Structure 1
Amino acid sequence: MDHSSTDETIMAALLTLNSPQPLHPLAAELRLRHRRLTFLLLSPLHFSLALSHLRSLSLRTKSLLLARLLLRSLSLLQSPLRRPHRLSLRDFDAAVLLLAMCDSYHPSSAHASVDWRSLIADRLAGDALSAAGLGGGWWPVIAAHVDAAAKCRRLVEADSGGAAAAEAAAVVALEVAEMGECAICGEEIVCGGAMPCGHPFHWGCILEWLRMRNTCPCCRYELPTVDVCSEIQRVWKMLVKMGG
């Protein structure tokens, strides 16, 4: 999927909103990221600690950390009033710093002695003086999240999309089903659980199923998942559906 079609999908989904009021959480998310990055830049000690933490992580772990941060933008675009995916403060700072390093990267800075703090500060100063940085309205907010969502999509578009376990909170929220036939074992249900799509199952059957995958065995309805790449793909499908 190219960048233009990604933007079109997200903007079509945003047009389904009835008013700009739900967009306030998107602005709040950007302010939070900006405050944490500014704090790191103004505190050499904390910047050094965050950078050391990043350098101690494997490339795979760094990718997942960045994906978790970008997923917050994608989720807010899909449902602005929903609480964004949580990160610990240490992981949030590291992810914000990593994203800033990616945005500030230039081939000429690809060496071990690069002063990342100065490089990021220069980029932030340039952004603040740009037309988007000086302008008002919602477009700078929306554009920042659209850009993050596009990065999010590109980050996982090569992922195999294999089975992933359902998120614990989504499993706990399943409704009770008092009758019907379990779609997994085929036996009558006395007291079981129902997926949001309405299909009923024995608790034992559905809980064992959701330990390995996040989809309904009947219609493939997807619950939120613990795997960040699978969750990005799930939310993206919902955005596509919203945008028609």
Structure 2
Amino acid sequence: MVDLLILVAFSLFSGVFSLGEKELLSFKRMPTTPAPTRFFHTSKNVSTILEMKHNKHLQKGLTINTINYIVTVTLGSRNLTVIVDTGSDLSLVQCQLWRLCYTQPEHLFNPLVSPSYILVQCESQPCHTLSSNTGNSGLCESNVPKCNYAVIYGGGSYTRGELGRDRLTLGNTPVDNFVFRCGRNNRGLFGAASGLMGLGRSDLSLISQTSNVFGGVFSYLFARF
């Protein structure tokens, strides 16, 4: 189980976070000296977290028609602006090749031109654990051994596609073989974002998949206006 450090300074209204000027994500290996408590309550440890060089500053999503936090990451060689979603256990990006996608200003992620992209196979561990991790079982086809999915979010948003792996880069740190939803059919309250960053606590969330890279510590800070 990954210990999740959450630094909180925000108001929550119907699942929507207020945006401020000091929102950030922090991820980096912690010092070898153990913290005095599981949740790192001391001001010294909080300062250490906030000074980490791999902070990713969150942005206001109003420019892409969403009132959620957004952040820009690199998947393969493509920079993508995604919604920070603390309620999702698996990240999502819109993928090219199908036409059933909502409009976004950034180019769609094209798995066919990404040399580091790998299709998740139907008999793989991520596909087998998809149901327990996300509540949605993997759907396998007899002629193509890929792991399909179908998800309906709250509010009626939905996405269909398949699971894939690619290199995710956070700051200057690469995370190889990152598992995500490659969405082919997407509709709903995504604004014009390129996808979602899943910050849940399942084995397939971004936090869990980066635990070996960042020593099991990931934090996010939401500030008010």
Same fold (TM over 0.5): no
- Judging by fraction of residues, say which structure has more helix: 1
Q: Which is strand-richer, 1 or 2? A: 2
TM-score (norm 1): 0.21
- Asked which structure has the greater RCO (Cα within 8 Å, sep 6+), the reply is 2
TM-score normalized by structure 2?
A: 0.22
